[in-house]
């Protein structure tokens, strides 16, 4: 019932129902490898889940035989696992001069390889045929040398550039200048017209934004200097370079800043009249101690019927960032904020992310809220959506809430305890439904000095306070997803944007199972459903043990990647049939989209987006999410190297975390830094056993295999290569 222009009440809450898995008919094919390959090609040319293959052949073959057959087909190059973990038959080049699309991977030598989905081999590109394309650029390539296993080609068009800004050294010339990128893998200099030089002199370090790529052979791209970077520390230069290499702009365009300046921080009287007023209700935020962008707040109030109303209030970014605006276009491109150890590269300008939209205490703020009525048994009776105005009473840090819960005393203890009990109940139901706990215990954090140099490395702790917030955000996200999905099916109009997670690659889970056996753990499963239970049992057992990091990381790697899409296939890891992202619009663009779609659905407006537009925006968000994760990993690695650079010669306990033909990786237990022991520095030759991830010494028969404890010494570090060299002690 519509009580206010933007208040929608009394939707009955329904628990998620688990979808029954479809049974597959028995195959009459003979020969397991050929039968599986034929089945994959005939039934699911676009890819299929590994557990469907297991299910189809389970009456004729054992799970082990099926898994070994899948592994053999993969090693023979006949099948491939896509980014979502689905199996598909590999395609081969059909004819010479074929034009294909893929992503370029550029080596230091300048030679490139175009990676093409579903094709057996990467296409080699000689340096003279790269057309100034960079790593991660999406390109069109024409095949010049037809070879099924070693094709060669030349790039004929750059479809999408992965990077638009560069850190460069400026060289001044009469009437113009050139900017030389700081990254040696960038295959071009950038031409700077005199009007774009910002009066820079030769030798100045600058940020250059490309204004014209000139994607033809022999022409330099044209750039504009955005900022001088003289006198920056190596650390500052590295962090900025990492962001730019992953495609993130570190300077907002002038039109975006101009739009931001015009936004009024004060909420108008008219806007207040259009919103449900929650300023008098007890409301607080719970965030990391150093957070500035507060996306979400929780409120709690008793109802006359004895129940309680819990409000999940989310910053109403979509109220300020309008479709088609310069702000919206830049947010679409960035798609996410990037959190590095010493900084944030935000999706939105600071005025919006840290001030106007951020739910700061003691300030009136616009929110889009999900309101839950909950009884004393922690059961959800119904829910509502509302555009609200809130005023947070308190800004809590996680550790403050945890201290109050531990001491059972402090500000708002009764309310926090009640919320914590609800969160426990939600978590218990989710776990019972099969949600996997991927707490690997290796989320590294740093204590930095005034120059951003790490003085301490530690692992972030996930406490009840963290989980409390997480559980209510999951509740809001899945409630919105269910509502959008139901509306989409009933009216057949506007599609939604969902956060989906496909079933895992069972062959990768077999690798995890083999490694777990070395620690004395047994993981048995026949399909994806059983794999959920097996993984949860394993994580429960190892939660406080040193091997958590190694096994937890392998478990995560065995999973498909979660992505954004309009096609709702559910979320395997969380065991949800419906899931989306609604609760972090300050730092994620899909959440802004979901806010718009939800309001449009509630108001029964005509569709604002086509399916194709939403799918394109979802792909961009998924891409930039992966790029942000790469940037975060690169920055963490740099800080770890920086930390150990002052500790050369020190000895640490470690666990072998990976084994390759030229050595093995060791994760240090104390600080989670990872380095490599190179075989070239050892006193004997070793045999590499890829299947068992093991190295065996030819003379001493010494074995190094994943999961084993070992003592190592820090031998050498390289900040330039982000590399830590270790030596075995004893």
Q: Are 495 and 511 in the same domain?
A: no
Looking at the predicted structure, is the pLDDT value of residue 216 above 90? Answer: no
What pLDDT does residue 491 have? 61
On average, the pLDDT of the chain sits at 87
Question: Same domain, yes or no, for 268 and 367?
Answer: yes
Instruction: Identify whether residues 150 and 171 lie together within a single domain.
Output: no
Distance in angstroms (rounded) separating the CA atoms of residues 50 and 71: 11
Could you tell me if residue 13 is inside a domain? no
Q: In the numeric block, which tokens belong to residue 714?
A: 């820090």
Task: Give per-residue pLDDT as tens, 307-362.
Answer: 999 999 999 999 999 999 999 999 999 999 999 999 999 999 999 999 999 999 99
Specify if 14 maps to a domain.
no
Look at 61-70, 264-273, 629-638, 684-693 and tell me which has the smallest mean pLDDT.
Answer: 61-70
CA distance linking residue 492 with residue 30, whole number of Å: 44
Residues 700-707, mean pLDDT to the nearest whole number: 90
Q: CATH code at 674? A: 2.40.50.140
Average pLDDT (606-617) is: 89
Domain CATH code at residue 225: 2.40.50.700
672: left (phi over 0), alpha (psi -120 to 50) or beta: left
Other Cβ atoms closer than 10 A to 518? 17
CA distance 334 to 587: 10
pLDDT band with cut points at 50, 70 and 90 for residue 20: very low
User: Per-residue pLDDT for 14 more than 70?
Assistant: no
235/202 same-domain check: yes
The more confident residue out of 247 and 73 is: 247
Mean pLDDT of 130-143: 88
CB of 144 closer than 8 Å to CB of 154: yes
Average pLDDT over residues 490-499: 80
pLDDT at 343: 94
Q: Which domain CATH number covers 37?
A: 1.10.10.10
**Mean pLDDT, to the nearest integer, of 698-718?**
93
Closest among 252, 43, 233 to 164, alpha carbons compared:
252
Q: Give pLDDT, residue 3.
A: 41
Q: SS3 for 394?
A: strand
Task: Enter the DSSP assignment of 354.
Answer: I
Dist. CA 483–CA 487, nearest whole Å:
6
365 and 321 both lie in a single domain: yes
Three-state secondary-structure class, residue 234: helix
656 and 617 in a common domain: no
Higher-scoring residue by pLDDT: 466, 490: 466
What pLDDT, in 10s, does the model give residues 557-587?
888 889 999 999 999 999 999 999 999 999 9
Close Cβ partners of 265 (under 8 Å, ≥ 6 residues apart)? 355, 356
Domain assignment of residue 592, yes or no: yes
How many degrees, rounded to 5, is the angle at CA 362 between CA 360 and CA 366?
60
Give the burial string for 309-346 (b: 16+ CB within 10 Å, else e).
bbbbbbbbbbbbbeeeebbbebbbbbbbbbbbbeebbb
- Our count of domains for the chain comes to 6
Does 346 lie in the same domain as 322? yes
- 645-648-651 Cα angle (round to 5): 125
- The answer to whether residue 1 scores a pLDDT higher than 90 is no
pLDDT in tens, 79-102: 766 655 677 776 555 455 678 888
d(CA 582, CA 633): 25
Asked whether the predicted pLDDT for residue 295 surpasses 90, the reply is yes
536 found inside a domain: yes
Dihedral, 614, 619, 625, 626 alpha carbons, nearest 10: 170
Residues 314 and 233 both lie in one domain: no
Q: 272 pLDDT exceeds 90? A: yes
Residues 6+ away with beta carbon under 8 Å from 284: 297, 298, 299, 361, 392, 393, 394, 395, 396, 412
> Is residue 393, in this structure, part of any structural domain at all?
yes
269 domain-assigned: yes
The last residue of one of the domains, among 160, 180, 212, is 160
Considering the domain architecture, whether residues 135 and 41 belong to the same structural domain is answered as: no
Predicted pLDDT of residue 75: 64
- The token duo for 383 is 């829910």
CA distances, 341 to each of 454, 634, 640 (Å): 9, 10, 11
**Structure tokens belonging to residue 235:** 């650390």
> Which range among 10-24, 59-73, 603-617 has the greatest average pLDDT?
603-617
Residue among 307, 97, 106 at smallest CA distance from 187: 106
Instruction: State how far the Cα of 75 lies from the Cα of 661, in Å rounded to an integer.
Output: 17
Least-confidence region, from 383-387, 605-609, 685-689: 605-609
Distance spanning both ends of the chain, measured CA to CA? 74
Q: Which two tokens stand for residue 535?
A: 């993984």
Residue 649: the pLDDT is: 96
Look at residue 101 in the predicted model and tell me its pLDDT.
87
pLDDT of 44 > 70? The answer is no
What range defines the domain where residue 721 resides? 646-728
- pLDDT band at residue 21 under the 50/70/90 scheme: very low
Helix/strand/coil (H/E/C) assignment for every residue in 490-536: HHCCCCCCEEEECCCCHHHHHHHHHHHHHCCCCCCCCCHHHHHHHHH
Residue 571: DSSP 8-state: B
Give percent above pLDDT 90 in the chain.
55
CA dist 228 and 169 (Å) reads 10
Digit-coded pLDDT (tens) for 401-447: 999 999 999 999 999 999 999 999 999 999 888 898 877 666 889 99
pTM more than 0.95:
no
Distance, CA of 291 to chain centre: 19
**What was the pLDDT predicted at 48?**
74
Separation in Å, CA 94 to CA 114, 120, 145, 148, 381: 17, 12, 12, 9, 59
Helix (H, G, I), strand (E, B) or coil at 609: coil
Q: Which residues contact 42 (CB under 8 A, 6 or more apart)?
A: none
| pLDDT for the residue numbered 605 | 83
Contacts of 521 (CB under 8 A, 6+ apart): 538, 541, 542, 551
Let me know if residue 22 belongs to a domain.
no
How far apart CA 366 and CA 352 sit, in angstroms, is 12
- β-strand partners of 713: 651, 727
Provide the 3-class DSSP secondary structure of residue 117.
Answer: coil
DSSP alpha helix (H) spans, 605-647: 611-644
Contact 587, 347 (CB under 8 A): yes
Contact call for residues 73 and 45 (beta carbons, < 8 A): no
Q: Which of 633, 655, 687 is the last residue of a domain?
A: 633
Residues 200 and 152 in one domain: no
195 in the same domain as 122: no
Is the residue at 366 inside a domain? yes
- pLDDT of 38 above 90: no
Buried-state track 640-663, b at ≥16 Cβ within 10 A, e below 16 = bbbbbbeeeeeebebbbbbbeeeb
Tokens of 717: 């570090």
Same domain, 463 and 319: yes
Last residue within a domain, chosen from 138, 160, 182: 160
Tokens of 238: 């590295």
Q: What is the pLDDT of residues 502-532, one digit of tens each?
A: 888 777 788 788 888 878 888 877 777 888 8
Residue 29 confidence (pLDDT) above 70: no
């Amino acid at each position: 019932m519509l009580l206010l222009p933007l208040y929608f009440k009394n939707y009955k809450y329904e628990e998620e129902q688990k979808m029954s898995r479809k049974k597959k008919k028995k195959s009459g094919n003979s020969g397991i490898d050929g039968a599986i390959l034929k089945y994959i090609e005939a039934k699911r040319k676009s890819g299929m889940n590994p557990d469907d293959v297991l299910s189809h052949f389970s009456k004729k073959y054992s799970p082990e035989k099926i898994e070994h057959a899948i592994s053999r087909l993969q090693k023979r190059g006949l099948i491939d696992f896509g980014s979502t973990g689905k199996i598909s038959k590999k395609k081969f080049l059909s004819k010479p001069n074929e034009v294909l699309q893929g992503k370029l991977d550029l080596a230091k030598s300048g030679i490139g390889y175009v990676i093409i989905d579903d094709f057996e081999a990467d296409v080699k590109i000689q340096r003279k045929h790269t057309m100034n394309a960079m790593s991660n650029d999406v390109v069109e390539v024409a095949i010049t040398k037809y070879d099924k296993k070693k094709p060669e080609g030349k790039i004929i068009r750059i479809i999408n550039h992965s990077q638009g800004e560069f850190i460069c050294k400026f060289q001044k010339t009469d009437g113009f200048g050139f900017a030389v990128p700081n990254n040696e893998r960038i295959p071009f200099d950038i031409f700077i017209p005199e009007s774009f030089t910002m009066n820079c002199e030769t030798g100045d370090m600058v940020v250059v934004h490309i204004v014209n790529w000139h994607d033809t052979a022999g022409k330099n791209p044209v750039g504009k200097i955005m900022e001088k970077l003289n006198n920056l520390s190596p650390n500052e230069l590295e962090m900025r370079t990492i962001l730019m290499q992953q495609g993130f702009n570190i300077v907002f365009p002038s039109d975006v800043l101009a739009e931001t300046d015009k936004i009024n921080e004060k909420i108008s009287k008219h806007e207040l009249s259009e919103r449900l007023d929650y300023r008098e209700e007890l409301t607080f935020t719970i965030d990391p101690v150093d957070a500035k962008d507060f996306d979400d707040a929780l409120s709690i109030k008793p109802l006359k019927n004895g129940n309680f109303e819990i409000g999940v209030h989310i910053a109403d970014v979509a109220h300020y960032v309008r479709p088609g605006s310069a702000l919206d276009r830049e947010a679409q491109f960035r798609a996410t904020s990037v959190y590095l150890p010493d900084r944030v590269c935000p999706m939105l300008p600071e005025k919006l992310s840290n001030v106007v939209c951020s739910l700061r205490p003691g300030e009136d703020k616009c929110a889009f809220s999900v309101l839950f009525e909950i009884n004393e048994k922690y059961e959800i009776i119904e829910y509502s959506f509302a555009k609200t105005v809130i005023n947070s009473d308190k800004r809590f840090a996680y550790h403050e809430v945890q201290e109050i819960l531990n001491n059972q005393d402090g500000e708002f203890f009764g309310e926090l305890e009640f919320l914590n009990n609800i969160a426990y109940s939600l978590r218990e139901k989710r776990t019972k439904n099969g949600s996997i706990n991927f707490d690997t215990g290796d989320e590294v954090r740093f204590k930095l000095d005034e120059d951003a140099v790490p003085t301490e490395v530690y692992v972030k702790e996930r406490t009840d306070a963290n989980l409390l917030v997480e559980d209510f955000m999951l509740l809001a996200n899945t409630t919105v997803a269910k509502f959008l999905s139901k509306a989409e099916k009933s009216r057949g109009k506007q599609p939604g944007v969902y956060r989906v997670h496909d079933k895992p690659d069972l062959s990768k889970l077999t690798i995890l199972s083999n490694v777990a056996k070395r620690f004395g753990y047994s993981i048995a499963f026949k399909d994806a459903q059983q794999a959920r239970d097996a993984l949860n049992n394993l994580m429960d057992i190892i939660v406080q043990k040193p091997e958590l990091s190694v096994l937890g990381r392998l478990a995560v790697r065995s999973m498909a990647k979660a992505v954004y899409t309009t096609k709702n296939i559910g979320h395997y890891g969380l065991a949800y049939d419906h899931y989306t992202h609604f609760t972090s619009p300050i730092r994620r663009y899909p959440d802004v989209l979901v806010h718009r779609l939800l309001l449009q659905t509630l108001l029964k407006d005509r569709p604002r987006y086509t399916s194709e537009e939403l799918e394109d925006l979802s792909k961009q968000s998924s891409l930039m999410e992966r790029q942000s994760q790469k940037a975060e990993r690169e920055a963490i690695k740099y800080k770890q190297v920086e930390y150990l650079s002052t500790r050369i010669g020190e000895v640490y306990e470690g666990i072998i975390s990976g084994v390759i033909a030229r050595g093995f990786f060791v994760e240090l237990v104390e600080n989670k830094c990872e380095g490599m022991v190179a075989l070239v520095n050892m006193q004997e030759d070793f045999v590499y056993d890829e299947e068992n991830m093991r190295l065996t010494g030819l003379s001493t028969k010494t074995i190094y295999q994943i999961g084993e404890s070992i003592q190592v010494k820090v031998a050498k570090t390289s900040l330039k290569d982000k590399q830590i060299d270790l030596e075995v002690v004893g």
